[in-house]
Structure 1
Amino acid sequence: MHLKRIELEGFKSFADRTVIQVQRGLTGIVGPNGCGKSNVVDALLWVMGERSAKTLRADSMDDVIFKGAEGRTGTPYAMVEIILSDEEGQVAEPGAEVAVGRRLFRTGESEYLLDGRKAKRKDVKDLLMNTGLGVRSYMVLAQGKIDAVLSANPAERRSVFEEAAGISRYKARKHEAELKLARVAQDLARVEDVYKEVQRAVRTLKYQAGKAQRFMEARDNYREAHVRLSYVDRYRMQVEETALKAQEKELETSIQEIRDRRSHMESRLNQLQEEADTLRQRTDSLRTDSSESRHKTATLEERVRGLDSRVGELENRTQRESERLAGLDEEDRSRVDADGLLQNENAQLAQKTAAIQSSLELADTEFSRIRDAHRATRQQMEELRAGVLKALGERSAQNNQVAEAAHKRSEAQGDLRSFERRQAELQSTKTEASEKLVIAKKEFREASLAAEQAEGRSHQLLQNRDSLRKQTSDAADAYSAAIRSQTEAQTRLTALEAVEQDMQGLPDSVRTTLEKGATGLRGLALDGIEIPAPWDRLLENLLGRLQHALWLDHRDAASQMKGAADCFFPAPRPTSPVHVAGARPLEDLFVGDSEKCRAICARLGEVYCVATAKEARRLADQHPGALFLSECGEMHGAGYARLGMLGDGAEGLLARTNLRQESEKALKKAQEAASSAQHEEGEARQQLENLNEELATLDSTLRKVVAERDRAQTQVEELERRELANLEELKAMEADFSSASELVEAANQVEAEATQLREAAERKRCELNEQLLSAETLSTEQEETLETRRHALQEARLESERHEQRLQHIQGQLETHGRLHKRDKQEGARVRQELETLAQRIRETQAEAEAGRTQLRELLTERGGLDERLAEATTQHERAAGVLASERASVDGGTGRLEDLLGRRQELALGLQRIQMSREEQVRALIEEFQQPLEDLVRSLGIDETENELEDSEYQELSRRVSSLKETLDRMGSVNMEALGELEEREAREQFLSSERSDLTEARANLERTIEDLDARCRERFVDTFEAVQSQFEGIFRRLFRGGRAELGLEADVDPLVAGIDISVRPPGKDLRSIKLLSGGERTLTALALLLAVFRSKPSPFCLLDEVDAALDDANVGRFLDVLDDFVGETQFMVVTHNKLTMARCERLFGVTMRKAGVSLVVAVDLSEIAEAEDGTVSRLGERPEKETALPSDRGVQVPEAAKEIEA
């Protein structure tokens, strides 16, 4: 498969439709920077399905659509299509072309095209999978990707090897299987959860169902016992109610008698009570007057004591206020004395502060003068220090130059000595390598001869194996075809036998008659008769319903038949049919029972068989008394014609007989063919096994011979390379020796000049140091003076601040004393006013207390007379109260008896009410609990209504049983009465989920086996590819570097499916520990060696190299192109380049330029045609040819003027 052409329209800078015809070999794409060369590379990535705008050097996918330029508007869409020619039939029929396209509209719609039809991106990926093409494949090698191969970590390098190994398809299938496995695992987890939940529910429902069963049994027992107990309780309550009513009637009589006696006693008691009330009112009046007198006396005594206490308090307060007034006068006199002292001190401090301020101003002026002088001195010191540092820098620089020159001289002298030693070693190595090269060449020739012989024999055996494989395949196909034929024939035969056995196709009346049987009945008339095809179907059509006629021994047997039926029986032999030229009597075609044949022919009359309908019509006209039947189904006679087959076309008895015979013959033939094919296949397989064993032996021998040859060839190449490397190294060493000598002389000269400059810098440094020391001494003296003056100035400032603070403090004290003096005057006036008020209040209180004492003496005299009258009244009241109490005791005795009787009657009434309420409660409770009255429950439960009396023991036992059953029901709590029905549903659900879980478990196991199988295949393919790439990598590396070592390695103790790939290289003459230490050109060559090794193991149909030679010099470019020539036969290469050497090697050049700003134009030239014709022309795609001019190159080819302009 190879790339035939690329079509672009509206893609990036390609505004117009551009067709790039790509041929086999090496094609170059040239042009100035920014003209759109890399857009061709982007177009190929885009059409392969690239979805990253960053990879396409764009911000968004809309950027790939032509935006417009000077004089040009933007295009509505971008379109790229590539046409691939598939000669080997990798993705299509051999020799066919495949068109892969992609279109993006400005509206955002995108579509992929396969052969002009819309497709999905996945279809494009699947089509190109394992062909080496794709956005993630190695078909595009750019500078960034070249370096990314080395910069990537070991795990990221796997992608290139995986694409080469062709395991993308398996990884995609594995990914799908893993997704399915994840879904199955999720489904299984959900089913497990639901299954466990259903199991828990089933266990719960089983418990609930058992509980519901026990609940129903206990509930029935409880209902029966409770109803029986209620029935007995009702009878007992009726008996108790009757007894209580009798007792209530007796109590009513006793209560009436007691009420009559009580009425008489209450009249007497009322009279006595009136007398007692009169005495009590008199006593109460006297007692009230005495109480009021005592209260007034106590009040006056309390008031007198209060007034005496108030007088004492007022006298104490008067004394305290007098003392406070004397204290205020004393404080005021002390404060006046202190104010005088503070004013004297204030005047003295003001004089001192003025003197200190004058001295402070003089000291501040002197301090500023000294500080300015010190600053000037410090500035001079800084300038001197800078000069010293500069001189030191110059001296250090010259010292470094002296040291560097000495170091270079030492290195150069060491190199000279190393060159001499290495030259001697190379001479010795050259002699030894020449001897080994002669021996290695001889071994290589012997190994090559043995390999050619083994390869010839292997080729012959492979041809024989292919022939045997074809023979085996043909035999297997023949055996399969024979088995299919045998199966088909056996199936047909079985079906026909089943039809005959079941009498299918016969009318029901005929089938019934045959099943019942009759005297003289011998089956169907057509049994035992045969007629060749196609006359069997034609005869059946002619007979119509007569084909189902019965055969009887004689005519009399027909009279015994029941029901309607057609019958044949033996008839006299008829006369022979008349001979008709060109026709054959139907009778002559019959084979079988002659009597049946004669009877049928007698019924049909003269019937003749002819070949065509035309012949039948002709003979019918000539012989009016006969019928003529043609092979096409038409029948003609005198005044009658049947055109075509009538009826449903089903096979009758005659046709089935012929089919059965044909099926038996076909079955026998197929069995013989199957046996023969099986025998031939077995012989071919045995021969193939023998040949495979011989091939295996020969292959082992061939591998050993080829390995020996390769080893010898590698040894020869290595020795030749070493010899060539030694020669080159000797030549390079001579130039290096001369260069080293010149370096020694130059280093000596530089060292002398640097020494002189260093001495001058040292002298300058010493002069500046002396000036710096003088300046430092002066600065030290100025600093000491400045510090003394600064200290004195600070002391003066502190003294001034202390005086100012003291002045402020004295002024504050004076102000405070003034405020206190004013306050004390106000307080003294207030206290004197308060003393006068207190003296007046004391006099008033003493007068009021004396008046209270006089009134108290008068009240005490009056209270003595009231106490005597109260004692006399109290004695009379007590005598009347005694008589009243005696009479009341008699009444209370009768009242107590009456209350006892009333209480007992109340108890009886309560008992009756309790019985009635209990009976009503019993009825309500039974209706609420059982939804039926007691009588209905007794009848429904079959309880004997006469058994309403129970012994106490039996009643207690029944009551305990009811309580026990009630407690049992209460302990059960809520009961799910639907548990039985739910249990059946959940058990069915549990069985279904168990089946689902088994299916999912089996599916998971199948997916895991599939993933393991895919891993095994991927592992095997990856390891094979890795070994193939590894074997090629070192050889290509050695060719690019002309020596050195390179190897690939998998991470140790890691599965090859995920193991990273390490790269270890060692260019000739270097001992590098890491590929990160390689130069830019070495990194490019190493990456190219790796990618070309991948190409060698799994070639891609075409490859684009985007300025991969930019980091290489001309020598490395030449070696790279030499290696690339080995690949051109298998792979198309398109190179985007600016290198003249690369252009010269290309067989065809495409120049990309911009005649109009922003619009790319492609110019094509075939260098092979230019070499043949001096005046050859080159045409721009879609336009007329342009003029050519010569472009210098290594091959001296003529390059078009347009291409030269583009490159310029």
Structure 2
Amino acid sequence: MRLTAIKLAGFKSFVDPTHIPIVGQMVGVVGPNGCGKSNVIDAVRWVLGESQAKQLRGASMADVIFNGSTSRKPVSRASVELTFDNSDGKAPGQWAQYAEISVKRILTRNGESSYYINNMHVRRRDLVDIFLGTGLGTKTSYAIIEQGMISRIIEAKPEELRGFLEEAAGISKYKERRRETETRLNNTRENLIRLEDIRRELGEQIERLRGQAEVAREYQTLQSELKATQQLLWFVKKRDTESSRLRYHGQIQQTQQQLTGQVDALRGIEHELDTSRNAHQQANTALNDAQGAFYAAVAEVSRLEQAVRHLADTRTRLHAQAEQLSGQQDSLMRQHQDMESSLADWLQRVADTELNMEEAALALESATDVLPEIESILQTTQQRVNELQRDLAAAEQARQVNETHLQHAAKTLQQLNIRQTRLQHEQGGLPDEDQTAIESIEQALNDTAALRDELAEQFEVVQHTLATLEGQRQPLRTQLEQHTRSLHQVEGELAGLMKVQQHLTENVSADAWLARHQLNNLPRLWQQIDVANGWETAFEAVLETRIQAIAADTSTLDLSDIPAAGISIYDGAAPHAELDACALPRLLDKVTVKSGGAGALQDWLSHVFVADNAEAAAVAQARLPLGAQLVSTEGHIFTRHSIRYYAKSSGTQGVLARQKEIERLSASVAALHEQKSIASTQLSSIEAEIGSNQQDLATLRSQLQQTQQQFHQRQLESVKLQQAQERTQQRRAQITAELAEIDTLIETEQNAQMDTEEQLQQHREQSAQLRSHLEDARRARQDAENLFNQKREQQRQLERKLQEIRFSAQSAQSKINDLHNALKVNKDQQQRLIEQREEVLGEAMALDESTQSIALQDAVNLRQQAEQNLALMREQLEAAGTQLRQQEEARMALEHSLAPLREQLENLRLKHQEAELLEQQCEEQLQLLHADQTELAQRIAQGAKVTGLNNEINRITVAIDALGAVNLAAMQELEHAVKRETYLQDQVNDLEQAIATLTEVITTIDSETRELLAMTFNTVNQSMSELFTTLFGGGRAELILSGEELLDAGIQVFAQPPGKKNSSIHLLSGGEKALTALSLVFALFKLTPAPFCLLDEVDAPLDDTNTERYARLVKQMSAQVQFLFITHNRITMEAAEQLVGVTMQESGVSRTVSVDLEQATRLAEV
């Protein structure tokens, strides 16, 4: 690739868009100090992905954005774009198909950084990958030499120099792959550790779930028993309740019949009682009538007596009232005269007011007639003003719209021309379609797919075989684990019992005596006998401490040497004698002697007999011979006249039973060892087969993964190529359509622009004319408005005056009306007083006392007759009441007899209803329990009782409660956990295989890297030596490794210019260091030429002679590498094929200018 252009905008001092064309192979950038030349180097480094602000001479990344100057404001973003010529197709990956590649980076002040390749948004890593291994890396770039960097290279640490060599060797790609592989390896190991932790926790969970599952199964069994018992309980309750319901129903029928008979008798008595009540009611009604007539007669007599007295009082009152009415009549006549006089005055006032009101009305009418004409003139002038204002506003709006349209059209045409130029340029740079590449990739893709399918079939076969073996291995593992657990458990029990037995043979106080007599290693009695099952306790109770007796020759014992503790010694060689026959079984019959000691046991046990239990011993106690003993299985000892109860307090208690258990456990241990050995052998065989298959599976998996990766890679390449060609075709068609559309839009905009300019001129002339007319109309409207306001004010004054006159007239007329009404009322009052006086006098004359006296005598006679009739009616009512009470008492007695029957019937009905409800409840419970009542009827026992079933339910409930908290999901969780354990084991196997594969990949990468780095080291070392000799005209230089391992070793530079024997590079001068560093950098370039090389004032410390050598070397290497260098040196400028000048005429703003050699010389001399 070759750099063809650099574009900057808003980057540091390059605030304006700046285009720097790169034409030749040697391009020099010149200009005064501080004008921004080094910013070009920073821009290139920044666009290639630099992320450290200090490498760009800034404190933060935002410092690369133009921050303003004395005459300019800060900008919001910075952008840099590099354009490369890729006609030779050396760009890596998919970018090789493009003849031109543009790399662009944009940074905004909010920190958003965007990368683009050929205007496609990409990641930073995608951009960095293009230049990876070309010397343009972001960390160890030897193709971009900034100010002061040339001396830092030669004085760098060995580790830093190794970085430059690695970049030149192109192993940065390998290091990136190795880093990614190590990351995946570390992640895989962490995942494996996590999986192991999960497996361990899962194993503990499985053990816990197994116990919970067992409890859950027991819980479900108890729940089933509880449900069955509850069904039986409810069925029995239903059966008993149904029997009770039928019994209550019969009792209800019988009681109902008795009650019906009693009710019929009550109905007859109630009928007679109704007849008596009617007769009593009629008698009571007659009494009330008679009593009413009597009270009326008494009231009439009283009234007539009072009327006679009232007549005298009324006559006196009427005469006094007539005199009072005469006085009131005289007063009203005087008031009438006064009101007639006042009425005449008010009538005169009304006549004067009407005359004034006519004059004011005429004046108002005259003023009102003038107003409409003046108002019409005002409205006409206002309408004219409004019309002219609307016309003027429309004209102004049209003018503004036209001006806006003209501005928009100009801007649109400018944008269309720019867009047209850009699209034409882009259309010319689109690549042609390459069908051959697509067919080649498709063929490779098909071949890879066929190989992948073949490997997949082999993988499935091996995987199926491995799954079968895994299925066989798990039961064997389980069986082996069970045998191991059982063996450990049995061995633990055996060790515990043997320890207890061993403890019995230890006696500190007797050990010394036994050792002196050489008896300490001899077996004890309990080790030499075999007691029948169940009789161990009886033997221990009889023998007591003699169970620990030691078999020895008693004749050899020194009887003077008495032990400190009790010890029993028996003669193991004593003969066995025949015993007399006896009806009772002997204790000797329950023991078998293994070796020696039968005679001693006869001495001790010949008189001891046995009974199965204490009751049998008590029965046989009386038949015992003198001195004999009878022992039960519990250890109780009976003689003819005594009983000694056995107590478990002796240290030898249980020794025989433990010995038997030890022998049984020893046999179990041997059997378990044999079973474990068989299971282990089978498991080892299966695991060997599994290991072989796993190895085959891993090989196939690796091959399949590699093939799959190749398939995906080729598939991706095919898709990318097809997409690239599709994008190119789509883009070409899109550009063609856009160009045609742009031509149409340009023509349309130009025509519209011409029309708009003509309309704008017309609207401007129209607006000026309308403004003149509007001023005239406004003056006419003001005159009409002043005249109208004057006439309107005059009219309002006349209206107020007329209103006041009318109000006065209305007040006078209201007063007149009030007087007329008052005169009429006075006259009416006088007439009423005359009529009232005449009426009062007439009433007084009409009063007559004789008529009232006759009526009073007749009323007294009627009162006496009514009193006699009332007494007769009272006698009849008393007789009817007596008969009614007798019948009521009979009814009450019969009703009292009905109450017990009704109460009994109600109780029976309640019991019947209760039985029905209970029966219904039982039926509902049976339905809830999904009970089959036919089956329950067959299962139920004849005498089954509710109490017994309740006791059974309580027992089951207690058993369920004893289980405690139950995890009902334990069985499902256990199954899921076991499946998950298997799945995790598969994952562990895959991870272990992945670790092995990744480790092998890292080893391969290290081997390839070591080989490539060694070859690069030798080549660069030789090239550096040659270039050093060229630059210095002699001397020698070489690279020296500072370690044995090439991958980790540092690199040191050893250089001796001609005539010098310096031992260190630090002893060289600045110029010598610069030339030495250049020989190293150019040696790297000869090995791996970068697309371009940027040199920032590297010739500053050189004299003219060395500068000429430097310039010649650069010109010589420019055949393979493109150089862009910043310099102030005239000799270096002369060697350049193209010069780019950078100036800062405006403070803080850099610009580029064309520079010829003479101008560059003058600038250098400044």
- Specify the TM-score bucket, using the shorter chain as the normaliser: 0.3 to 0.5
TM-score (norm 1): 0.34
TM-score (norm 2): 0.36
